[in-house]
Amino acid sequence: ASPELGKLHPVYADKADEETEMFYETFQYSGMSLLYCSDEYAKWANALDIRDIYDYFLVQLKYLHWQFNREGSRPWLLKSPMFMGFEKQLARIFPQGFKTIYLHRSPEKIIPSATKVMEAQKALHFDMPPQSEKARDQMLAWNTGAVRAHLRWRDKNPSAEILDLSFNEVTNDSVKTCKKICDFV
């Protein structure tokens, strides 16, 4: 249904993917406004109590844990960039603590890339022409808000366990970067 999406962000039935999809099931997640290109939806969803969404997310994780990790020996690895700016909620649902790895990449690269993925994802759901300019503006606004919220959270939580990596570290020396990540976790 969307060959472009398969090229930009391959998804497999039997492989790990971003857990953002679990938020979509609530129909209350403001990130869905990026999919629908809807300012009205974003305004409505942003006014909701996001704790409900994260509580539902935690229930889903517990169910998956019960199904696939009963011994409890494996930690969760959450990989969605959509958590940036919502660390307060992660701290609330994971009171035992969590470690965070942030990959820093130029917004000039992130925004067009993320917009392309979102436009390709829309093709799965809608029969409408792309709204690339509006989608780009909404993606930029979403990411700007997320970065600002993230930086406020970091200021309030200086002891948070965070590993910052540049995109260049990953692409230029992946072995060294993997060792750095393993030492951190």
Q: What is the pLDDT of residues 42-87, one digit of tens each?
A: 888 889 899 999 999 999 988 888 887 667 667 778 888 889 999 9
Calpha distance 70→58 (Å, rounded): 16
At 133-174, the pLDDT tens digits run 888 888 898 899 999 999 999 999 999 999 999 999 999 999
pLDDT on residue 182: 95
Least confident of 17-21, 41-45, 92-96, 107-111: 17-21
Average pLDDT, the chain: 87
Q: What is the mean pLDDT of residues 120-132?
A: 75
Instruction: Name the burial class of residue 72, with classes exposed (0-12), middle (13-18) and buried (19+) by CB atoms within 10 angstroms of its CB.
Output: exposed
Residue 40 has pLDDT above 90, yes or no: no
Q: Is the pLDDT of residue 98 over 70?
A: yes
- Cβ atoms 54, 92 nearer than 8 A: yes
**Contact yes or no for 114/120 (Cβ under 8 A):** no
Q: Is the pLDDT of residue 130 over 70?
A: no
Helices (H), 11-106: 20-24, 32-36, 39-46, 50-68, 87-93
The answer, yes or no, to whether residue 126 has pLDDT greater than 80, is no
Structure confidence at residue 72 (pLDDT): 65
- pLDDT of the residue at 153: 96
